[in-house]
Structure 1
Amino acid sequence: MSEHKHGEQDIAAQEQAFEGFMKWSTRVAVASIVVLVFLAIFRT
């Protein structure tokens, strides 16, 4: 069994996945806020 050496693993795929998740989460949050503001303004 090989020894673990901190900082040597390639994490490019994980970084891409996390960046995509953050973009998606930000867009969903902004869209939710826009919908809530729209409903608050045009509520009957």
Structure 2
Amino acid sequence: MADHKHGEMDIRDQEKTFEGFMNFTQWSIIAILLFLIFLAVFAT
């Protein structure tokens, strides 16, 4: 069995996936807030 050495695994794919998830989350929150503001202003 191979010995595990901390910090040797290539995590570039995981980092790109996490960055994409965070970017999606950020823009989703912005879109939801804009939609809620739109409803508050125009839906009376």
**TM-score interval, normalised by the smaller of the two chains:** over 0.9
For residues 4 and 26 of structure 1, the distance between their equivalents in structure 2, rounded to whole angstroms, comes to 36
**What RMSD over aligned residues (CA atoms) do the two structures have, in Å?**
0.6
Per the TM alignment, residue 43 of structure 1 is displaced from its structure 2 partner at its CA by 1.6
Q: TM-score when scaled to structure 1?
A: 0.94
Q: TM-score when scaled to structure 2?
A: 0.94
**Alignment partner of 1:4 is 2:9:** no
Unaligned runs of 5+ in 1: none
For residues 4 and 37 of structure 1, the distance between their equivalents in structure 2, rounded to whole angstroms, comes to 52
Q: Which runs of 4 or more aligned residues in structure 1 lie more than 3 Å from their structure 2 counterparts after TM superposition? A: none
Match of 1:15 in 2: 15
Aligned residues: 44
Match of 1:40 in 2: 40
